[in-house]
Structure 1
C-alpha cells in the first residue's frame, strides 16, 4: 500500500486551518526538522549571569536527589494521592511549555517530527530516555494511539531509593509531561497511562497514550490532572498567559495575542515574567485602587509610560482620559500654557482660549514624563496645582478646580537634583508618595524572550511580514546583549530584523545588529559530542550578500572598505569550492594566478577565516 504523502505543518494549516491533522511513526525521518541537533542547539548556558536557556525558556540544572527529596516530602506530608496530583500537574505544565516552544520555533516542521520533538526534549532535559514503539494520530477523526518505552527514569530512581519496589507505577510527573505535550500540541485531550514501571519491578517503563474517548472511563486520570488553580486560563497583570488548563478544548489552545490570532497587540502592553517585573506589577496593583501620586523611576526606555498607562487602565479612573506630557519636549516658554491652558488675548498669537493638559485630564490621569527637566519656575506652579487641586489659565482670572491623578516619571536621580539645587525639595516629596522603580532590561534577562516574541508579533503584523521566529544564535545574542537603550532598543532591533529577514525565514543576528557591539563574553552551547563550547564559535560572519544588503539598507555602506569586501568575497568563493583555488577562481571569473595573488594579498592584510588546502585545476 502506498503511504500517504508527507505534509508540512504550514501546508496542513493552509488546507485545514489548524495544525497537525494527522501523522504516524512510519513517517518519522531522522533528518527532518526539528532534529536532535536542532533541539540540542537550543540549549545553552550563560554561567556569567546564572541562567540556562532552552531556546527562549529559562531552565534549571538541579540534582536529581534534590527533586527526590522534595518528592518524598510531598508524599510524606500530603499523602500519596495529593502528592501524585501535584507532580502530575507540574509535569503537564512542563510538557505544555515544550509543546509551545516546538510549535513556535518550528512552525513548518513535519508532523511526525514535531511530535517526536517532545520525546527528545524530555530526554534532553534529563528526565527519561524515550523510545517510541509506535504512534498514530488523526485529529479530524479525533483519534490518537501511541506506545513508548521509558528507560533510565529519574523519577523511578528517586522513588525506588526512598520506598523500594512496590505495586504502583511512580512516573507521575513524566506521565503529566507526555499528557501536557501531546494534548497542548494537537488540541485533543490525550491520556497517558503507565502500564509497566521500574518501580513495580519491570526492566523498563511501558507507557500507552490514547485519546480520552478510547480509554472509556478517565475519571481516575482526571482526578490527578484537575485542580482549582488549573481550571481556567486567566491573563496575568504582566500580560503573559498563564499555563493552559489540562482539560483543553477540541481545537488547539492559543492564548490571547499569540501567533495565529488576528487580535491586535496593544501598543503599550507591558510584558514580562522576571522577579523585578512581577515586583513592579505587584506594586502597581497595590496603588492602582487609591488616589496616590505615583513616581516611576528608571533609565530611558524601560517602559515607564507603558506602566503609567497600565496603572490608569486598572484604576477607578479607567473610563476617563489619560493625558501624557513629555516635559522635555516642550520649550520652557510654552510649558505653562501646555499644562494650565491659555485665555484668548493673553499674549500675541493667542487668538482663542484653550484648555491645558490639567483640564483635559479632569477626572482621569495626567502623566508627566521627564519631570526632572522642568525649570524651577514651572516646578513652583506645578506644586501649587498638585497641592490645591486648582489652576488658572494664562491670562485668566478664574480659578478652575480639577480632579486629576498625577503620575510622574524621571530617568534622573531626583534626590541628587534636589541636593544640587535643580529640583524643588517640596515638589519632590509631593511627587514621591508612592515610588516604583523599573530596573533596566539588563537586570531583567528573563523578560527578554517574552519581549522578543511580543514585538515580533506586533512588528510583523504592522509591516505585513511573516517570519518563522529567531535562529538559536539570534536568541543567544539577544539574551547576552546589554541593551543600553533598554526595551526601546530591543523593539527597534526586532523591527529591523522583521524588515531585513526574508518572508518565511528566521531572523538571524545579521538582520538585527548593525553597529551595536555584541558582548565578547560567550554563552556556552552543547557541542556535537555533548560538551559545552562557546556559542560564539557557532556564529560565523553573515554572508557577503547579507552584509552588503544590511549596510545599504541602514545607510552604512560607506563604512565597509573595499579590502574587507574583497577578502570576504575571496574567502566565500574558496569555502564554496572547498579550498580548490582553480574552482574558486572560475566562480569569480579570474584565472587561478589572479585569484592566488589576490588571496596572498588579502592574507598579508589580514588572515582569512579559512585557508585553501587544495590547488587542483
Structure 2
C-alpha cells in the first residue's frame, strides 16, 4: 500500500509534547509495591521474560494465534491509555493524540519518529498517520529467536496504536506495519487510517476476532467447516462484535459448550444480546442443520403456556379445533431457546422440569407421550437464585437449567467495544436506508462513551439506526442525531464547555471533593520534589486524608444511587479500586 498521505487538508497534531505533564501521571511507591500510570496499576517487567513467553506461546499455539493474542493485548492497553488521557487531560484532541506515542515511549516499547505526523478531523473522524518505530523490543526479540521473518513482528505496538486512536477518534482506526526490522528492513514503519478506507483490512483484523464466529468490524465471519458439518447460512448469524476482556470471556465459554448437548443458561441484563448468543451457539454446534425455535416466556399468557410449549390436541378446550405441536416438538433434533425463563408461572415450571428430566412431552388433552430430543438454551435477565429464595422459581428447575451459565456483560462494562459496534451498526443501516454516512463526530463519540446504556446493545443499535435516518446524506452523525429521544435526560447530564469539550453538568454533578483523585498511598510523582506542602494544604482543607477519601466515596455512592461502577467513574477510578477503598474505610469505621 502507499505511504503517501491522502488527506493533506486534515489538521496535523501539535509537535510540542509536555513531558512534565506525562511524568506527573507516573507515580511510584516502592514501600507498598505500587506503580501507577494515571490510575492504572503498572508493572516493570523484564523484557527478556516477556520475549521468552512470546516465544513459548508461538511454539505452543502457533504464530498466527500468538500474533492475535499479543495484538489484542496491545489493543486493550491502547484503549486504557487513551481513556486515561481523555478523562484526565483538558485541552484539544491534537494534544492528547500527540501524547499517545510519547506515552508508549515512556513505557519502553519503541521510539517514535514521524514520517508524516498524525492528521485528523475530529468532526468527521478522518485520520492519517505515518511513523517509523525504532528500538522495537518486539522486532528485536523476534529477530533473536527466529532470524528474518516473512511477516511484521511488532504485534503489541500495532494493537496499541489501533486501540488508542480508535478510542480517541470514535471510529475504528487501523494501523498496518508496512516495514519491519524483523523482516529485514532498516527500521519499522506503520501507517494508520480509518478502517473503511483500507482495501486489505480483512487480513489485519483477525486479532479483533477472538473466535471465527465473531465478526470483525467491516466484515462478517467466514463460512466455517468443522468435524464433518458446515455452517450453511453464515449470513443468518447475528453480529457478535467486541474485543474487550469481558466479551471475550463470554465468547470463549460459548465455544467451549457449543459442541456438547449441555443445557446453557445465558445471564445478563435486558438488551445485552442473549438472543444473539443463543443463535450463534446453535449455529456453531452440531445441531446447526436442525431447527432453532425461540419462545419468549414473558409474552405467553399464563393459561396458554402449556399449550405453547407442549402442544395441544383437538378438542382439549374450547377453541382447540385442530391438533397442534408445541415448541418442544417443533424443536425436535435442534435447539429450544427459552427467553425470560423467570417469567414462567410455577405450574408450568413443574411440567417443564418433567420434560427436561424425562425427554418426553404430553400434549394438552392427550394421553400419548412423545419423545423429544431437544437442546435447551435458557435466558434470564433476573437473578434466578434470588427468584428461588423469593419463592417465585423452583429450586430443582434452577439446578436443571444452571448446568453451564454464561454471563454476558452489560454495555457499560465493555465500553471499549463501542467504536467497533458503532461501525457495524452505521454500516448496516447506511446500506439499509441507501445512505452514505462519512463518520461520527468526536463529541458524539464522547457522548456514547459517557452514557449509561440502560438498554445495552439493543439501545445502542436503535440509537444508531435513528441517527443514520436523521443525519444528512454524505454527512456525519453528530450529537443531536444520537440523543433525540428521551434517553435518561441526556441534556441534563451533558453540556458543551467553552472549549467545545463535552462535560457532565446539572443532575449528578460531583463536587470538587468527588472529583479529587485519591490513592491508597501518598505516591510521589516522577520528577517531583517534596510534596509535603501540597499534602499539608489538603489536610488543612479536609481535616485528614481518611476523612477526605471517605467523604468522596460516600458522595459518589449517593450520587450514583448505590451503583458501584457509576460511583467509581465519578471518581475517575476503576470499580476494583473503588471497592478496595470502600472496604478499607468500612473496616476502619467498624474498628472505631
Indicate the TM-score class for this superposition, using the shorter chain for normalisation.
0.5 to 0.7
Partners of 2:54 and 2:188 in 1: CA distance = 28
What pairs up with 1:344-355 in 2 under 5 angstroms? 344-355=314-325
> Does 1:406 find its partner at 2:389?
no
* DSSP 3-state at the match of 2:454: coil
Partners of 2:439 and 2:187 in 1: CA distance = 33
C-alpha contact 1:238 1:271 (8 A) present in aligned 2: no
> Does 1:516 find its partner at 2:487?
yes
Unaligned regions of 5+ residues in structure 2, if any? 23-36, 80-96, 118-129, 141-151, 163-171, 191-202, 223-232, 506-592
C-alpha contact 1:456 1:495 (8 A) present in aligned 2: yes
What pairs up with 1:42-191 in 2 under 5 angstroms? 70-73=46-49, 126=105, 128=111, 130-132=113-115, 173=154, 190-191=178-179
Query: What residue number does 1:36 align with?
Result: 13
Partners of 1:92 and 1:310 in 2: CA distance = 26
Query: What residue number does 2:361 align with?
Result: 391
C-alpha contact 2:436 2:474 (8 A) present in aligned 1: yes
Q: Which among 231, 250, 264 is matched to residue 280 of structure 1?
A: 250
* DSSP 3-state at the match of 2:290: coil
Partners of 1:191 and 1:291 in 2: CA distance = 47
Cα distance per residue 1:338-390 (max 9 Å; x no partner): 11111122222222211110000000000111111111111111111111111
Query: What residue number does 1:598 align with?
Result: none
Partners of 2:158 and 2:303 in 1: CA distance = 64
Query: What residue number does 1:114 align with?
Result: none
* DSSP 3-state at the match of 1:412: coil
> Does 1:325 find its partner at 2:281?
no
Partners of 1:73 and 1:342 in 2: CA distance = 66
Partners of 2:404 and 2:98 in 1: CA distance = 49
Query: What residue number does 1:536 align with?
Result: 502
Query: What residue number does 2:281 align with?
Result: 311
Partners of 2:101 and 2:69 in 1: CA distance = 11
* DSSP 3-state at the match of 1:456: helix
For residues 89 and 367 of structure 1, do their structure 2 counterparts lie closer, same or farther at Cα, with a shift above 3 Å needed?
A: closer
- Deviation, structure 1 residue 451: 1.7
- Deviation, structure 1 residue 439: 2.4
C-alpha contact 1:133 1:149 (8 A) present in aligned 2: no
Partners of 1:375 and 1:493 in 2: CA distance = 34
Query: What residue number does 2:440 align with?
Result: 470
Query: What residue number does 2:211 align with?
Result: 237
Query: What residue number does 2:459 align with?
Result: 489
What pairs up with 1:517-596 in 2 under 5 angstroms? 517=488, 518=490, 535-536=501-502
Partners of 1:422 and 1:154 in 2: CA distance = 63
- Deviation, structure 1 residue 24: 5.0
C-alpha contact 1:293 1:432 (8 A) present in aligned 2: yes
Partners of 1:334 and 1:378 in 2: CA distance = 10
For residues 89 and 328 of structure 1, do their structure 2 counterparts lie closer, same or farther at Cα, with a shift above 3 Å needed?
A: closer
Cα distance per residue 1:303-359 (max 9 Å; x no partner): 111111111112111110000000111111211111111112222222221111000
Cα distance per residue 1:232-280 (max 9 Å; x no partner): 889543755679xxxxxxxxxx75479xxxx997562222222211111
- Deviation, structure 1 residue 519: 9.3
> Does 1:440 find its partner at 2:410?
yes
For residues 348 and 267 of structure 1, do their structure 2 counterparts lie closer, same or farther at Cα, with a shift above 3 Å needed?
A: same
What pairs up with 1:190-339 in 2 under 5 angstroms? 190-191=178-179, 235-237=209-211, 239-240=213-214, 255-256=219-220, 266=236, 268-339=238-309
- Deviation, structure 1 residue 448: 2.0
User: May I ask how many residue pairs the two structures share in their alignment?
Assistant: 400
- Deviation, structure 1 residue 173: 4.6
C-alpha contact 1:92 1:173 (8 A) present in aligned 2: no
Partners of 1:373 and 1:446 in 2: CA distance = 33
Partners of 2:357 and 2:54 in 1: CA distance = 56
Partners of 2:131 and 2:440 in 1: CA distance = 32
Partners of 2:380 and 2:54 in 1: CA distance = 49
Unaligned regions of 5+ residues in structure 1, if any? 1-19, 46-59, 102-117, 135-146, 160-170, 198-205, 211-228, 244-253, 529-533, 540-617
Greater relative contact order (Cα 8 A, min sep 6): structure 1 or 2? Answer: 2
Partners of 1:70 and 1:155 in 2: CA distance = 15
For residues 379 and 288 of structure 1, do their structure 2 counterparts lie closer, same or farther at Cα, with a shift above 3 Å needed?
A: same
For residues 300 and 231 of structure 1, do their structure 2 counterparts lie closer, same or farther at Cα, with a shift above 3 Å needed?
A: closer
What pairs up with 1:352-391 in 2 under 5 angstroms? 352-391=322-361
C-alpha contact 1:482 1:519 (8 A) present in aligned 2: no
Partners of 1:175 and 1:446 in 2: CA distance = 17
Cα distance per residue 1:60-87 (max 9 Å; x no partner): 9899x978x54354568999xx9xx99x
C-alpha contact 1:123 1:130 (8 A) present in aligned 2: no
For residues 335 and 238 of structure 1, do their structure 2 counterparts lie closer, same or farther at Cα, with a shift above 3 Å needed?
A: farther
Partners of 1:272 and 1:351 in 2: CA distance = 49
- Deviation, structure 1 residue 172: 8.2
For residues 455 and 238 of structure 1, do their structure 2 counterparts lie closer, same or farther at Cα, with a shift above 3 Å needed?
A: farther
- Deviation, structure 1 residue 478: 1.0
> Does 1:457 find its partner at 2:434?
no
- Deviation, structure 1 residue 440: 1.6
Deviates more, 1:454-463 or 1:502-511: 454-463
C-alpha contact 1:239 1:272 (8 A) present in aligned 2: no
Cα distance per residue 1:139-179 (max 9 Å; x no partner): xxxxxxxx9888xx6759xx9xxxxxxxxxxx98599869x
C-alpha contact 1:238 1:278 (8 A) present in aligned 2: no
* DSSP 3-state at the match of 2:476: coil
For residues 77 and 97 of structure 1, do their structure 2 counterparts lie closer, same or farther at Cα, with a shift above 3 Å needed?
A: closer
C-alpha contact 2:112 2:131 (8 A) present in aligned 1: no
C-alpha contact 1:236 1:242 (8 A) present in aligned 2: no
For residues 368 and 176 of structure 1, do their structure 2 counterparts lie closer, same or farther at Cα, with a shift above 3 Å needed?
A: closer
C-alpha contact 2:296 2:338 (8 A) present in aligned 1: yes
* DSSP 3-state at the match of 1:344: coil
Deviates more, 1:267-276 or 1:416-425: 267-276
